[in-house]
Structure 1
């Protein structure tokens, strides 16, 4: 399961792309310090510093939040799993909550294993274990 942030005493701030882009330009073009720009625009100093380093090195800066990196299932797979569980319950073969969690866990383990095998071997050289996992 992806990491879920539980707010503590220091709640996370939402990063607005326009404000972050303006702060980076303020530091790079005007020569203002990262600390002062972060304080003026009420941004986290370390986050602004990372974006400034990317800007100075010439890397492409993406100011959008990326939560997809922690996901195991795609949105389509998530919808398919949800539809399967609903269909099973309509056919009077509903799983208990524990069985549903166990089934989802097994599918997640397969996804992670398949992803790690593909990242090691590439997409063309499938070892026997991958074929076995995918049911070929």
Structure 2
């Protein structure tokens, strides 16, 4: 399956059906109106109306799941939002997760909530690549970038107060010496590495 599947222009879009509209349409058909006339009146496809006429138990599925429910979804929208919020919170605490760690977290989250997962998830103890690709496209606020390896002390101390102090000291250095080409930014960049290497 291609990564970005494009539907053909000739195919119809699925309509998000309302339960009350379908019940009203079925009531009109029961009163003796034609299926085609009711379909035109309510703007519902006549084959859809025929399906609901044959099997009225499908109406309970609409009330429970909605007409656009995807059966292959592992997490609900709320659970996926909670996972996104957790990943963003980890990133703000300078503990951004890699792709593999995110896939393992998704598998653990699914097993804790006793979700039905594919067999490849259980054999690998992590979510699949296809799920991760779909997860990233559904949540564009997340981005997977190779983080710059920064220590916690360096990232937390990078604030307005320390920048003012460093700019004052660099100005004092400029006055005392003839090194006018050195700016506070180049002084800040010349640091000692106090961190581990970034995982690949």
TM-score normalised by the chain length of structure 1:
0.55
**Structure 1 residues 1-136: aligned runs within 5 Å:** 8=9, 10-27=12-29, 29-55=30-56, 59=57, 61-62=59-60, 63-64=62-63, 65-66=66-67, 67=69, 69-75=71-77, 77-95=79-97, 99-100=98-99, 102-108=100-106, 111=110, 115=117
Question: Displacement of 1:91 after TM fit?
Answer: 2.2
Question: Displacement of 1:40 after TM fit?
Answer: 2.5
Question: Displacement of 1:36 after TM fit?
Answer: 2.6
Q: Which runs of 5+ in 1 are unaligned?
A: 118-129
Distance 1:107 1:89, change over 3 A: closer
Higher relative contact order, structure no. (Cα contacts within 8 Å, ≥ 6 residues apart): 1
Aligned to 2:173: none
Residues 74 and 117 in structure 2, CA contact (< 8 A), matched pair in contact too: no
Question: Displacement of 1:116 after TM fit?
Answer: 5.6
Decide which structure has the larger Cα Rg and report it. Answer: 2
Residues 74 and 116 in structure 2, CA contact (< 8 A), matched pair in contact too: no
1:87-123 Cα distance to aligned partner (Å, 9 max, x none): 221222224xxx34x5444455674995467xxxxxx
Distance 1:71 1:107, change over 3 A: farther
Distance 1:85 1:36, change over 3 A: same
Distance 1:105 1:61, change over 3 A: same
**Separation of aligned partners in 2, 1:15 and 1:73:** 22
**Separation of aligned partners in 1, 2:106 and 2:89:** 20
How many residues were matched structurally?
112
